[in-house]
Amino acid sequence: MKHAIYTSAAAIGLFAVTPAHADDLRGGGKLLLTNGISTVEGAAGGGLTPWAVIAGNGTKDGIGAQAAVTIAEVESYDFRSLSVAIGIFDRVELSYARQNFNTNEIGAVLGIGQDFAFDQDVYGAKVKLLGDVVYGAPMLPAIAAGIQYKKNLDAPIVAAVGARHSEGADYYVSATKLLLSHSVLLNVTARATKANQLGILGFGGDKDDSYDLHFEGSAAYQLSRRFVIGGEYRSKPDKLGIAREHDWFDAFAAYAINRNLTATVAYSDLGSIATVPDQRGVLFQLQAGF
């Protein structure tokens, strides 16, 4: 979970464009950074939440791809994510992420062993339904719908902490717009989920096993053509009696090294994770896009 927060930072690079720079930045593909970065769950967008953008540098005439390595360190835990995503004709996105969440010393306190690590696979699909992030009517955002199927690889452990299921799916709709005249990008996502800490602690729980509707948001400001700062928020379900779950916040900075490499750093506040409060820390991500 902590992981998720951090990566969001990188996604902001989207707005690196003005009409005057379009030809220079396009380079045969999308405008610089308009594919966003990779979320902790693998979809293109911000670190915490998907956006209505499609992975990779390919336009409506081709296929693009991106891959990312994300490393997050908070007070008591470590998180790693390796992700890949393919964008097809700037309309359809397919993604995959392998998440690793190390409990460090807290694992011994929880009775699952020091340095016990939860692993999870996340398979995603997204379709852009209408609109455009950069072009078109200023008040009409790009809108996309997606699904993330998550399979926790530690079923006996998540059952022991009270989760009802070791696998499940999130469903979401995102609306994203870059306001070029103000150098501002805004995103809102609505997600139906019953995942505990992204699914790392399973799905559903002793308190509830139904889907809840949660909201996520991102805002970013372009300081220069390649450098963006911003913040994200993600509301969370709270279904496990033994481990209260808090909403997530982050502040990020993303830099486009070139049109193929983006580096992101973020400071995240993830609240309580697996019984341990005040989980704050930093995240680093390096993404390659083609």
The owner of tokens 């996105």 is: 93
Mean pLDDT of the 246-272 span: 94
pLDDT for position 83: 98
pLDDT band (50, 70, 90) for residue 109: confident
Q: What is the pLDDT of residue 275?
A: 84
Q: For the chain, what is the domain count?
A: 1
Q: What is the pLDDT of residues 113-168, one digit of tens each?
A: 899 999 999 999 999 999 999 888 888 999 999 999 999 999 999 999 899 999 99
**Is pLDDT of 245 > 50?**
yes
By the 8 A CB rule, do 50 and 43 touch? yes
Contacts 24+ apart (CB under 8 A), 230-235: 230/9, 230/12, 230/46, 230/185, 232/5, 232/8, 232/9, 232/46, 232/47, 232/48, 232/49, 233/48, 234/4, 234/5, 234/48, 234/49
**pLDDT at residue 6 tops 70:** no
Report the distance separating Cα 28 and Cα 56, nearest Å.
12
Q: pLDDT confidence of 26, banded at 50, 70, 90?
A: very low
pLDDT of res. 12: 37
* Separation in Å, CA 121 to CA 82, 152, 154, 155: 10, 7, 11, 13
Whole-number pLDDT of residue 30? 81
Lowest-pLDDT range of 32-36, 56-60, 86-90: 32-36
Q: Is the pLDDT of residue 203 over 70?
A: yes
Per mean pLDDT, which of 2-6, 56-60, 126-130 is the most reliable? Answer: 126-130
User: What is the distance between the alpha carbons of residues 264 and 226, in angstroms, rounded to a whole number?
Assistant: 12
Question: Considering only CA atoms, which of 3, 55, 14 is closest in space to residue 186?
Answer: 14
**Residue range(s) defining the domain that contains residue 77:** 2-289
Q: Which band of pLDDT confidence, cut at 50, 70 and 90, is reported for residue 218?
A: very high
**Least confident range of 8-17, 94-103, 211-220:** 8-17
CATH number at residue 282: 2.40.160.40
- Non-local (6+) Cβ contacts of 182 within 8 A are none
pLDDT at 263: 96
Polymer length of the chain: 290
